C-alpha cells in the first residue's frame, strides 16, 4: 500500500475529496481492501479515480455487523429484505464504464446498502439515488451522512420510472435486473449521456452500456458481460 499522504495527494490531483469521516475508517480492513483492489486491477480495471475511491470507501460499514469480515470478498452479500450489496468487481466495472470525470449529475436506481452511492458521490458532482424499500434508503442515508458525504439526495419510490422532478442526468446507473431499458430513464438521460443497466430475465442478464444519441430518442447499446442482479421491481421492471 502506498503511504496515506501519497494517496491523499493523488486523490487531490484526481479531484476526489476524501472526507475526514472516511479517513477515520482508513485503518480498518486496510489489507483486505488493498487485496480487493489488486483483484480488480488483475481483471482489467484501469480507471485511477475508481480504484482510488474504492481504496478509501469502507465497504464493511455497509454490510450487517455479523458478516463485516466478508465485506471485501468478491461476492454479493445479503443486506436484508431479500436484497444484496453487489459484488465489488461488478461495482468497479459499472463505475469505470460510467466514465465519471467529477462534473456529472448521476441517477442511481437501487440504493441498496448505499455502498455504490458513496463511490458515485466521491466521483461525481451530485447523486440522486432512488430505492423501493424505505428502510434500506434510511439506513443508506445514515451511513452516507456518517461518511460526511453531502452531495446525495435520497428518494423512496419506483426507480424504474426514474426521478423526473430532478432530471435530466448525465449518467444513470441501474443496480437491478431489468427486462429492457425503461423508457422514462432514456427520457431523463441527457444527450450523449451514459446508462449502465443489467438487461435480461430474472435468472441471468447482460450488463449493458447505453449511450443516448444526440438530438434524438434513440440510443446505442454495448454489451459488457454476463451478470446476475436482483430484479428491478416496478412499472418498467418485472412489476
Residue spans of alpha helices (H) in 159-211: 183-188
Q: Is 121 a catalytic residue?
A: no
**Minimum CB distance to ligand SAM smaller for 85 or for 194:** 85
* Residue 148 or 184 having the CB closest to ligand SAM: 184
Hey, which residues does 128 pair with through a beta bridge? 107, 153
User: Which residues on neighbouring strands pair with residue 199, listed in sequence order?
Assistant: 178, 206
C-alpha 121/C-alpha 65 separation (Å) is 23
- Using CB under 6 A as the binding rule, whether residue 56 contacts ligand SAM is answered as no
* Dihedral, 182, 185, 190, 191 alpha carbons, nearest 10: 0
Regarding 113 and contact with ligand SAM (CB under 6 A), the answer is: yes
Q: How far is CA 41 from the centre of its chain?
A: 18
Interface residue with ligand SAM among 83, 129, 139, 188 (CB under 6 A) is 83
Judged by CB under 6 A, the residue of 53, 176, 194, 207 near ligand SAM is 176
Q: Residue 152 Cβ, how far from ligand SAM at the closest point, in Å?
A: 13
DSSP 80: E
The residues that touch ligand SAM, with contacts defined as CB under 6 A, are 83-86, 109-110, 112-113, 115-116, 130-133, 136, 158-160, 175-176, 229-230, 232-234, 237
The residues that are catalytic are 86
Amino acid at each position: 500500500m502506498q503511504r496515506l499522504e501519497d494517496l491523499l495527494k493523488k486523490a487531490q490531483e484526481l479531484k476526489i475529496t476524501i472526507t475526514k469521516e472516511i479517513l477515520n475508517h482508513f485503518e480498518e480492513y486496510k489489507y483486505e481492501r488493498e487485496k480487493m483492489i489488486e483483484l480488480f486491477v488483475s481483471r482489467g480495471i484501469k480507471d485511477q479515480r475508481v480504484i482510488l475511491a474504492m481504496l478509501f470507501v469502507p465497504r464493511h460499514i455497509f454490510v450487517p455487523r455479523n458478516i463485516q469480515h466478508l465485506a471485501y470478498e468478491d461476492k454479493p452479500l445479503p443486506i436484508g429484505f431479500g436484497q444484496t450489496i453487489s459484488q465489488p468487481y461488478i461495482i468497479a466495472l459499472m463505475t469505470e464504464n460510467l466514465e465519471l470525470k467529477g462534473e456529472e449529475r448521476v441517477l442511481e436506481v437501487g440504493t441498496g446498502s448505499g455502498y455504490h452511492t458513496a463511490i458515485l458521490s466521491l466521483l461525481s458532482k451530485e447523486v440522486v439515488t432512488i430505492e423501493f424499500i424505505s428502510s434500506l434508503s434510511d439506513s443508506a442515508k445514515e451511513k452516507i451522512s456518517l461518511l460526511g458525504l453531502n452531495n446525495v439526495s435520497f428518494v423512496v419510490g419506483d426507480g424504474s420510472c426514474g426521478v423526473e422532478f430532478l432530471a435530466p442526468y448525465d449518467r444513470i446507473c441501474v443496480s437491478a435486473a431489468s427486462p429492457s431499458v425503461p423508457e422514462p430513464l432514456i427520457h431523463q438521460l441527457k444527450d450523449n449521456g451514459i446508462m449502465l443497466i443489467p438487461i435480461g430475465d430474472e435468472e441471468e442478464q447482460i450488463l449493458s452500456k447505453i449511450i443516448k444519441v444526440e438530438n434524438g430518442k434513440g440510443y446505442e447499446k454495448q454489451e459488457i458481460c454476463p451478470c446476475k442482479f436482483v430484479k428491478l421491481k416496478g412499472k418498467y421492471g418485472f412489476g
